[in-house]
Copies of this chain bind each other. A is one copy, B any other.
Amino acid sequence: MTGDAIRAALVRRLRLTSNISEDDIKEIEALPISVRQFPAEMPVVRDGERATDCCLIADGFCVRSKTIANGKRQILSIHIPGEIPDLMSLFLHVMDHELSTLTPSTLGFISHETLQKLHRRAPNIAEMFWRDTLIDAAMFREWIVNVGQRPAPSRLAHVMIELRERLRIIGRVDGDHFEMPMTQEQIGEALGITAVHANRVIKQLRQEGILEFHRGRVTVLDERKFLELADFDDRYLHQSPTL
Contacts and interface: CB of A to CB of B under 8 A. Distances in A.
A14 interface: no
A192 to B, nearest CB: 3
B192 A147 contact: yes
B133 A96 contact: no
Interface in A192-243: 192, 231, 235-236, 238, 243
Interface in A90-130: 91-94, 96-97, 119-120, 123, 126-127, 130
A68 interface: yes
A134 B68 contact: no
B135 A137 contact: no
A53 B144 CA distance: 25
Given A66-B141, A123-B119, A142-B66, A92 B147 contact: no
Contacts of A64: 141
Nearest to A128: B91
A152 to B, nearest CB: 12
